[in-house]
Structure 1
Amino acid sequence: MKFKNINKRRFFILIFVISYFFLWNPTVFAQSNEYFQASKIIPPSPTAGSLAKVVDIDVGYFTGTHQLNIPLINVESKGIPITVNLLYNSANGIKPIEDASWIGLGWTLATGGVITRSIRGMDDFKFGGFPSAVSLPPHNEDNYVAPPATSAEQTSTANYFRQVGNRSIDSEPDVFYYNFMGKTGKFFLGKISAGDTIYVEKQTNLKIELLERTINAKWRITDADGYRYFFRTPEVVSNYYKNSDVTQFSGLEPNFTNSYDDSESAWYLDSIVDPHGKIAVKFEYETGLSLSAIQIYQKRYDLLNQGATNAGTMASVYNFTSSNRQRIQNIYLKKIIYNKGSILFTRTQREDIEPVPYSNDSQKPQKLSQITLYSQNNTVTKNIVLSQSYFNSGYAGNDRYAFLRLKLDSVSEIGSSGEKQPPHSFSYYAPQDMPSKYTRQIDEWGYYSSFPAYVIPGEVTQTLLPTVKTYKGSTLWTFQGVNRVPDSVGSYVKRGIIESVSYPTGGRTKFEYETNEQRSLPYQKIITSEVAKADGSDMYSEVLDHFSITGAQEIAFDLTCYPIAEDRIPNNQIVAYLRNSSNVVLRAFSISDPKATLYLQQGNYTIEVVFNSEYVTILYASTVQYKTYNRKAAGGLRIKSISDLSRNNVILRKKSFVYDDQPYVNGAPSSKVIYPNRYYSRACKQYLDDNSSTSSNGLYLIRTSGTINSLEGNAASSHVTYSDVFVFEGEDKKNGYTHYNYYNLGANHTFVEPEMPLVFSELNGKLNFVEYFDNKNTLLKKNEYQYQLLDRKKLKSARFMKPNTDTSPFFNYEDGDIRYFDNISEWWVLIQDNETTFDKGNQLSKYRRYFYENSIHKLLTKIVESQSNLDTISTIFKYPMDILTPLYNEMVTRHILSPKVMTERKRNAISFFWQKQNYLKFPNGVISTESDQESKDGVNYYTLTKYLSYDVNGNPTSMSKGKDAPTSYVWGYDKSLPIVQAFNVSGTLLETKVQEAVIELGYITLDAFLTAIGDLRGGSQKLVWYNFNEKLKQKLPAESMFLTFAYHPQYGKVCSTDANNRSKYYEYDGLGRLQLIRDQNGAVLETYKYQYKL
């Protein structure tokens, strides 16, 4: 017997996802006969259970953020991986206005999928929405308003935008976002009259289809493998508004008015269908009700210059405030059903989200509390328990919904027999000091900060409008507001963000943050260090203190003096002294003269305060340094370091991040910052409502409280992006570093109005180069990347920007009133990466070039790579769309695009090797591989593997390798796992004989038989399994040989039996970990034990 003692360790994994090309597997170029082997259909023998849940820590260097990924469940159904993970995204910090998800603040449940929508203007699915509305008026392609060519065109254009203004038609498309199975993106619906094109921001080979263009829309997305994803469960939102600020942050009517304009804001993934038309996964949901946080927006017009007054004098101030909140029909994931079982999601009520008034308990806001994995026979396999509490849990006020936020404290796994694994637990910065969701102490980007508040005269609440200095007439005028400076220290903005993760091992990972930074004009900052303190605050304090300086230097003196009682001494009375070593008074201090910075010579000095029992009197002496800075805070946080610690708090591994343009000193921030444009000046008009075009006009300063322009067109998810990031390994930064450089382009075009979106190129954020340095700052290797734009489309739209100062239907058709802008769809690809290695003054370079020659399937068609001997190796790929045959055309119709049906390799442009994967439509309608072949001359092909038949689920049921006899399979557990592997027998005969054996044992189907034997723990179950193998042996031809397998569908193999009916049994504990391996007599062959140790 073998005995294995496995020490459980938690692996710290730091993964930076650059893009798929950076992870390219070079073995794709190797000559190999390692095609499909029959034995590979059978899963390998189970190994020891996972060594504790691995937490992936993915750092987004470009934005300075990090993401935690805690895998909970990982199963598979008909080729589709079904994962249930918890994701935490640091997202540059927590914004006060954010509501927590049903997991907790900052956390999301990553499973299934959803299409969400941001409505711009009108609902695209309602009458007059952008896709169905008439085309835009004539416009300039550069997004400037061109003067109408004719009076008829002017009239037509005016009528069009009047309808936009009164919400009869829509001039801009909604924005749709998809997120499913690791695929994310954004798209827009084009005009029906222009071909009903869907514009995907980052072009891929996903096929997105709108199945029903109604209020109850339905979607289908097909991937390049032919899997179809259906999104048909809608989340409905009702909007409520109030044209004023609010002081009470709760309730709906009568405080808010219902707009009676319900819209679908999201569509959840209902089912996944495999390429053979079989449902692989189903998702079930339940609904609830909640109220969103209240969004408040202010826009103020201040008159700078009065122009014409034909329609009367315009007001000196126009002030508009709107408050909005939404009534949300929440969609909660209830169950995932797949071919090996199901996953149930259990909820309980939460206290931090405001319920809709008068809703019943089942409809009130919910949190996810438990995830349960069930087998096919509805037996519990695993329980995941979420332990949650609340940020500000000690809050005792009346406004709990404004202060409480759901907090995930820990996640633990409980096995089928009640075994409980130690939990993952989480700690957060200042969890009891979170601000109200409605605090006005937020910086330009919406993060918590601290600055002097201001209430504009005539208003009742603290303003978020900026202070602006500009000319009013000929006089420089200050329009008072607030300077929403970011938190430069981090004490405010860190609140609520995750600080550490503790693991079942006892170890933990700690996260250190710092504030984002940007370049600024150089400025000096005084750095002081205390050298002496004369303290007269009480009778026991030292009223004298001495200090010495070596070399002449500046010393700063600072007096603190204030009364304890009501009596006051004269402000000019001397209360402290500075003396030299000869006891000569060099400086005296009083309340009216408390500070001084003196240039002192080398020597010894004394400071003294006059003790007064009615006063606190302290004099400080400090050295002075003047340091020049070229940086300032830019709002939000970035990750500074990630440390992996043992249970004894010993640092095992540490990564540190520097975001400057130099790795060590004298660097400057490499960031680009998207600044909120919250004020501008423009001419505004006011018309008489008599169709005479009579108007008045004036120049106004326009200020808004909005925090940031909406980010569109491949924008990063952060307002700060970094061109250079240096990643250091080791606690002391002495183990070398890696330098990442990114394309950091900023917005393509910027409008002055904050309501307008910012548009970015897809090249933004792509990796430019990576450099690797050793601990002596010597460059070891450099990788460089080049990209090319292969396609670019624009969906033109317009936004009606008529000033709020005028309520008439008239407007000027000019840049100020109309803004055209583009919704961009681009296809960028990597076309080359170069690698240069440096060794003792020598350098070796090689490259790899990539070609994408089909703009429809968008798959890699050729790779050319250099070799060290100066040869070039080319690899050419062809796909079904590249070969015109009826079968491949049918595959393309089904959107099965990705199979490489032919691969050709060339050395220096001369072909030397070919591979083919031939497809066939089998009699049962399944399209799959018919044979794998290779050739050395492109004419004579050798067949490596021939697939003779498949079942209706696309599982191979018979195949042969080369000229060998066939190997056949019978699949069970809803045709998800191979039960019998037989050699030298046809698939049809094997299936027939297996079914006969099952029936003779008293079972109608193979799956009924497999359900009866369960996990083969009992003696009667093992006897039935033994008899099944004996019957099958009697029924199959004598020249055949077979193996059989039984499974626990979630855990793995529970039995393997050879041709002589000798079995090996695998036993698992309640957490699904391999525990014992026994022979057919019950003797223990291997034992696995699990200890948590780090």
Structure 2
Amino acid sequence: MLVHKHLSKLCVLHIFLFFVCLETQAQTNANYIKSLNSLLPVSPNANSIMKYGDVPVTLSNGLPGISVPIYTVEENGMQVPISLSYHAGGIKVDEPASWTGLGWSLSAGGAITREVRGLPDDNEAEIGFFSFVQTNDYYLNHATSKVRDSVFKEASQGRLDLEPDIFYFNAPGIGGKFAFDQETRTFTSLPQQPVKISRDATFNTWKILAPDGTSYYFENKETTTSTTKCDVEVNNFNSVISAWYLSKIVNANQTDSIMFDYSYVAYDYYSAGSSTTYTVLTGDRTLDRPNLNCFSHNYFSGYSRLSGIRTRKYIIEFIKAGIGREDIKDDYALNRINVKSVTGQLIKSYTLNYDYYNSLTCSSQVPDPARNQKRLRLLSVDERGKNDAESPLSYKFTYDSQTLPCRLSYSQDLWGYPNGASNTNPNTLVPKETFIGTRPDGSVVTMTIPGADRSPSEDKMKSGILTKIEYPTGGTTSFEFEANKIGYAASKYIPPKIKYKSQILSDIRYNNEYLDYSYEMQFVINEPPSSLNGYTLTGGVFASAIVEPMCDAANPTACGDYILMGPKTVTFTNTFDNVYLPNGTYTLRAMVSRINDTEPESGFRYFSCSVTYPVLDSSQSNGFLGNYVAGGLRIKRIINSDSVKPQTNNIREFRYHNPVNDSSYGRLLNIPVFNHYETVDVTETLPQGGGWAFKVNYLVRAGNSMVPFVTTQGGYVFYPKVTEYILGTAGNQRTDYQFSFVPAEIDENYPFTPSYDPDWQRGNNEMTTVYRLQDTIYSPQQVTATNFNYYPVSSSNQPFYKDLLAILTGNKNFYVIKDANDEFNTGMLEPELVPIVSQYMVPTGRFYKQSDTTMTIDPMVNKLTLVNSYKYGDTGQQLIEQKSTDSKGQVRTTKYSYPTDGELSTSHISSTVQNKMISENRLTTPLVSSISVNTAELKKELLFYNYQGKILALDSLQSSFYSAVPALDMAILQYDTYGNPITIKQRDGLFRKYIWAKDRGIVQASCISPVNANVVFTSFEYPGELSWNEASRTSSKSFTGKMAYQLSGASISITGLDAASRYFIYIWIENGASCTVDGVSLNYSGRSFNGWRLMSGTLTSKSQCVISGSGLVDHLTIVPEKSVFEGNVYDDAYHITSKTDNRALIYFYEYDSMGRLKVIRDQEGNILKQVDYQYQAPLTK
């Protein structure tokens, strides 16, 4: 049986001009000089004090991006931000805590994880998807029926893999997902990105090449082995590699790397498996199948716990706690993060402090109850500098005080969040099921199969969620959450917001007075079709009734008789329950004479009859729009409070509903499916011969949706429209956002294939409207509308998308052959020879931002409009053209060309160089750009490259104006072995020189000179800088930095000077020391400080010299005359401790133990600036 299913990025522009960043508007020569200046460290400034957090919010799913920044490791253009991140979508019942606490995760590297579909793709022995010889298309359309049926049967029994796994990758600078393309035998990203993904089949490791040529290696593997224990059976599964962790990042020139170290882990914990029930629907005989409740015992092992990060400059240590965790066996919490220099000097440390969530008592069904009643909770993070003894700067966290249920508890809603329901009688996660049907006579009949209460509870859903962060300043950020809501009846499992109506007929008589013989009342039912009445075409309600007094054994006669008359008639004495009443006018009649026949002991006679039924709340009176609570939380309000000036609180409010009818904009990303049908054909034989055959049909219900839930960044509900209000002393602002929305496509037929979900078409900001508050009315101030092309074609008009074909097989028809005297067990079930086969597609493709229009409206309602259109390349997906049209009709066009993309000619680049750039995936390297206004070209810039070994070197940059012949803007004449520029010739003819600290990647000095002459600068901090005796470098005393040089018996040789240039030489010597250059004494400059004297002199016609003498010397500078010079000395934490210029003027910088600037002094020790860090409100008298 073949079921045929649906067959039907925005590129972020990262353009690097080596070390010069090319803006979307072409740069001028001044911009290049500015970029070159950016190579130099800026003068130290006072650290800004963060009063409270600026928390970003992903508005389309209502999730705030809560994080605590730790440190950012930088190395030759590569960055690794380290932070603690919190997912604020709600705490799930089954959710285990990470080693940084429940809801928190450490962001400090990267990993490749996967969603296994079918079998793991990397299975060997030609059964995994990677190693399959033939394609799925071959088996569907070209193989013989015998081969096809054999393959599909093997797949249905778990012995072949016909589905590609979905792999997720995340690392600094890259992220996304990918799958294996059988036809091309390559890995394709989803959506398509200009990354190259390769797998080493021998070692089963990964390499991802980013579009700028940076390489990411994922070589540390974590293996998961699961044992599933159900009520009646245990299933063991083979070990699966569940994650590959980032092991190193290598820059495009392969001169620098960031290394990630891991320690071995081996721990285990339980997770909830599933609940399954079997209800016999039809059949000649019954065949009982046991209901199942399952738990999975998961074992994790491998070198997968991050223990360190190493670069040329830094060592980051991640230190686990000394004792094991109480909630997960053999696992440990992250106790401390140390940031050190490569020399081992402590720069900063972060200590994480914990306790545990203590949950409600676990039921007897839950394994390992002692551990599952606890979950690790992060209380605070203490930041310290190089001195551990000092008081820390602390981040403190407060959480919702409601007690979480025991982990693995059945007390959870459809999405796994707490809902307060016990669901222990019986123990099951299978939701209660109600079927509504119509008889031939038009009457409605219902059937309810008992099960768990999986309805969501907004209150319980908040259990344990983060509610406040307190910063070292005493400022706070508070979070108010509310449940996700959708604006329509998505599923019968998701109850609408309802209220109850009651029609009451009653009377009471005192002093033994008699009731009337009968009573009547009329009422009208007029409820539209909704989930409450099964969407019957005529509407109506399901009603229940109860009366007092009732007829029972204790009161057999003193009760009334009741009849409800109308479109449906119901006669009852005590109660009726869940009876369908069509819309119409009803008469309720009570006949109570029998109550009068009895002498009341209490002295009064009474009766009461109540007919009650649920109806949609008023906001949902049309049966469709409304607010249906769904799984997970969204942010409602963020309150930032300044402890020094609490009156300046900043409040951000978020609204997700239509203000006209109060209906939520929320959309569920896909609909849950909890049941399907199975058939068993039974043949029973008798010992004496003969027998019989019969068929049994089952309703199979599950505790988890058989179609996996679709999420966007962990959120189950999507909001196409959101309004944000910012309220504060600076004024009130409103911003409306509108996002693209495409729901996942699901098939509700067995076997349940994964949803077809091109998620890149969802969540793109299509319109933003900013309002200003004028009096009491919000008036639009700026409107930005953006158009996206989700199905772009290439320059040759070919589509980019090529969905990947997957095949899912399954069995829902089984047979049993057994002796009639044998008791049935599930091991007797055999699948039919031909399974059910479903083909589905894994979506690929790409999308681009096509255009945007921004209209600005001033207070006089004048409008200014700017329209941008964008064009992208086929291969590297880079922006190759941007056209901007203003309100006056002037069109500004900017074009770019890259190694694979662009319409501008790149003939100035050698084909050998360009092809090598392409082979190394250096797709974002700009080669040429131009700017035109209307039809006239204003400027064109050409960039020339060559390879120096593995280093892609920018030779020069040329510019032309108004279509003239290009002229030299800049030429880079020399690089060091790490690809850092040494000598640059500027457009004005001056030469810019750099001195780099060996093996540190930091600029020690720069010099702009009229001559191309080498410069000398050293404070003797690092070995091997000049020709000297290493043993003479000493830390006993120094003028700047930590080191000086002992000249006694150990001279310094200087080579590489320009004999045609005149140099100034400066050197500081200790009092009592002497210093000569080629035997000529230097002159005392008259400047001294702290026991040191500045000596100076000139060098003429020298290509080399020798500095000799006795005693300690420090801070040597040799610069050509007429130069602008800057020299820097660093401490082990790479803070600048002193700066000098071409006049040998020195400024000293002092820091506290936290690495914050405290004092700036001149060379005479005078304080120029002093900084005091006040983290709390100042004391007042």
Same fold by TM (over 0.5)? yes
Match of 1:760 in 2: 757
Query: CA separation in 1, counterparts of 2:830 and 2:556?
Result: 69
User: 1:104 — aligned with what?
Assistant: 101
> Structure 1 residues 861 and 1002, CA, compared in 2 at 3 Å: closer, same or farther?
closer
CA drift of 1:628 comes to: 4.3
Q: Structure 1 counterpart of 2:1150, which letter?
A: E
1:324 is matched with which residue? 296
Q: Do residues 468 (structure 1) and 434 (structure 2) align?
A: yes
Aligned to 1:160: 151
- Code of the aligned partner of 1:166: Q
Q: Are residue 435 (structure 1) and residue 433 (structure 2) matched?
A: no
Distance 2:1028 2:235 in 1: 64
Q: Equivalents in 2 of 1:763, 1:119: separation in Å?
A: 24
Shift of 1:984: 3.6
Establish whether residue 380 from structure 1 lines up as the match of residue 377 from structure 2.
Answer: no
Structure 2 match to 1:411: 381
What is the CA-CA distance between 1:640 and the residue it aligns to? Answer: 0.5
The answer to whether structure 1 residue 850 and structure 2 residue 822 are counterparts is no
Rounded Cα–Cα distance in structure 1 between residues aligned with 2:338 and 2:328: 28
The AA in structure 2 aligned to 1:494 is: K
Aligned-pair CA distance for 1:1083? 2.0
User: Mapping of 1:126-141 within 5 angstroms?
Assistant: 126-127=123-124, 128-136=127-135
- Partner SS for 2:889: coil
Residue in 2 aligned with 1:114? 111
Residue equivalent to 2:701: 703
In structure 2, what is the equivalent of residue 795 of structure 1?
804
Deviation at 1:71, TM superposition (A): 1.0
* One-letter amino acid matched to 1:982: C
> Secondary structure at 1:36's aligned position in 2?
helix
Query: Separation in 1 of the partners of 2:757 and 2:280?
Result: 34
Q: Deviations over 1:826-850 (max 9, x none)?
A: 2011101111233445443321111
1:721-740 paired onto structure 2 within 5 Å: 721-730=718-727, 735-740=732-737
Query: Which of 150, 156, 162 is the equivalent residue of 1:171?
Result: 162
1:825–1:1038 Cα change, 3 Å: same
Structure 2 distance, partners of 1:1069, 1:415, is 8
Q: Is 1:371 matched up with 2:368? A: no
1:965-988 deviation digits (Å, cap 9, x = unpaired): 322112105141111323448888
**1:277 is matched with which residue: 247, 254, 265?**
254
The one-letter amino acid paired with 2:809 is F
TM alignment of 1:901-912, pairs within 5 A: 901-912=927-938
Q: Is the 8 A contact 1:276 1:954 kept in 2?
A: yes
2:483 matched residue in structure 1: 515
Deviations 1:176-217 (Å, cap 9, x if unpaired)? 1111104321111232xx23121211221122111x124x41
Deviation at 1:651, TM superposition (A): 6.2
CA contact (8 A) 1:225 1:896 kept: yes
Residue type at the aligned position of 1:368: L
Report the Cα offset of residue 258 of structure 1.
Answer: 4.2
Query: 2: distance between equivalents of 1:980 and 1:281?
Result: 25
- In the other structure, the counterpart of 2:589 is none
From the superposition, tell whether residues 1009 and 947 of structure 1 become closer, same or farther in structure 2 (CA, over 3 Å).
farther
**1:979–1:1045: 8 Å Cα contact kept in structure 2?**
yes
Do the aligned residues in 1 keep the contact of 2:113 with 2:167 (CA within 8 Å)?
yes
Give 5+ residue unaligned stretches, structure 1: 1-16, 141-145, 246-254, 356-363, 529-567, 574-591, 593-611, 613-624
Taking the aligned partners of 1:446 and 1:675, their CA distance within structure 2 comes to 16
Q: Could you say which residue in structure 1 is the equivalent of 2:394?
A: 423
Q: Is the 8 A contact 1:294 1:325 kept in 2?
A: yes
Render the CA deviation track for 1:127-157: whole Å, top value 9, x for unaligned: 21012124355589xxxxx8x89xx832222
Higher RCO structure, 1 or 2 (CA under 8 Å, sep 6+): 1
Q: What secondary structure sits across from 2:1144 in the alignment?
A: coil
Shift of 1:635: 2.3
Shift of 1:771: 1.4
Asked whether the 8 Å contact 2:262–2:306 carries over to 1, the reply is yes
* 1:371 to 1:1015, Cα distance in 2 relative to 1, 3 A: farther
Distance 1:754 1:244, change over 3 A: farther
CA contact (8 A) 1:305 1:473 kept: no
What do you get for the CA RMSD once the two structures are aligned? 4.2
Distance change >3 Å, CA 995–CA 1069, structure 1 → 2? closer
| Aligned equivalents of 2:439, 2:355: Cα separation in 1 | 57
**What is the CA deviation profile of residues 326-355 of structure 1, one whole-angstrom value per residue up to 9, with x for unaligned ones?**
100162111111111201111013434332
Given candidates 310, 327, 341, the residue that maps to 1:353 is 327
* Structure 2 partner of 1:820: 839
Q: Is the 8 A contact 1:466 1:679 kept in 2?
A: no
Which residues in structure 2 correspond to 1:97-246 (within 5 Å)? 97-127=94-124, 128-136=127-135, 153-191=144-182, 194-210=183-199, 212-214=200-202, 216-244=203-231
Cα shift at 1:56 = 4.1
In 2, the alpha carbon distance for the partners of 1:26 and 1:477 equals 68
CA contact (8 A) 2:1016 2:1117 kept: no
Q: CA deviation at 1:795?
A: 1.1
* Secondary structure of 2:155 counterpart: helix
The answer for the alignment partner of 2:540 in structure 1 is none
Counterpart among 935, 939, 944 of residue 913 in structure 1: 939
Residue in structure 2 matched with residue 666 of structure 1 by the alignment:
661
Aligned to 1:493, the other structure's residue is in SS state helix
Confirm whether residue 953 of structure 1 aligns to residue 923 of structure 2. no
Matches of 1:1028 and 1:334, distance apart in 2: 49
Report deviation, 1:754: 8.3
CA contact (8 A) 1:799 1:818 kept: yes
DSSP-derived class of the 2:477 partner: strand
* 1:706, distance to aligned residue in structure 2 (A): 0.7
Cα displacement string for residues 96-127 of structure 1 (whole angstroms, at most 9, x for unaligned residues): 10011111111111111111122222121122
CA distance in structure 1 between the aligned counterparts of 2:738 and 2:298, rounded to whole angstroms: 42
User: Structure 1 466/569 Cα, relative in aligned 2: closer, same or farther at 3 Å?
Assistant: closer
**Any idea what SS the aligned residue of 2:627 has?**
strand
* Distance change (3 Å), C-alpha of 1:989 and 1:485: same
Q: SS where residue 224 of structure 1 aligns? A: coil
Change (3 A) 1:626 1:996: closer
Q: Which residue of 2 aligns with 1:484?
A: 453
Structure 1 counterpart SS, 2:64: strand
80 and 998 in structure 1: CA distance in 2 versus 1, 3 angstrom threshold? closer
Instruction: Tell me, in whole angstroms, the C-alpha distance in 2 between the residues paired with 1:498 and 1:773.
Output: 31
SS in 2 for 1:825: coil
Higher Rg of the two aligned structures: 2
The aligned residue for residue 718 of structure 1 is: 715
Matched, 1:287 2:264: yes
- The 2-side partners of 1:40 and 1:685 are apart by 74
Aligned to 2:464: 496
Is residue 943 of structure 1 aligned with residue 962 of structure 2? no
Partner of 2:42: 44
Q: CA deviation at 1:54?
A: 6.4
**Residue 991 of structure 1, CA deviation:** 7.0
Q: Spell out the pairing of 1:255-270 with structure 2 (5 A cutoff).
A: 258-259=236-237, 261-270=238-247
Amino acid at match of 2:159: S
1:835 and 2:804 aligned = no
Kept after mapping to 1: 8 A contact 2:497/2:617? no
- Residue of structure 2 equivalent to 1:876: 895
Kept after mapping to 1: 8 A contact 2:1151/2:1158: yes
- Structure 1 contact 296–323 (Cα < 8 Å) conserved: yes
Q: CA contact under 8 A between 1:445 and 1:676: conserved in structure 2? A: no
Instruction: Give a deviation string over 1:709-748, Cα, whole Å, max 9, x none.
Output: 3356x95532111111111111799824111111222113
Assess, with a 3 A threshold, how the Cα gap between structure 1 residues 843 and 686 changes in structure 2: closer, same or farther.
farther
SS in 1 for 2:85: strand
SS in 2 for 1:875: strand
Task: Check conservation: 1:527, 1:626, Cα contact below 8 A.
Answer: no
Change (3 A) 1:138 1:759: closer
Change (3 A) 1:26 1:340: closer
Q: Which amino acid aligns with 2:346?
A: V
Structure-2 change in CA distance of 1:271 and 1:1086 (3 Å): same
Distance 1:420 1:157 in 2: 71
Q: Which moved more, 1:223-232 or 1:32-41?
A: 32-41
Q: Counterpart of 2:666 in structure 1: which amino acid?
A: S
Summarize the alignment of residues 984-1003 of structure 1 with structure 2, pairs less than 5 Å apart: 984=1009, 989-990=1014-1015, 1003=1028
- TM value normalised by structure 2: 0.73
Query: Could you tell me the TM-score, scaled by structure 1's length?
Result: 0.78
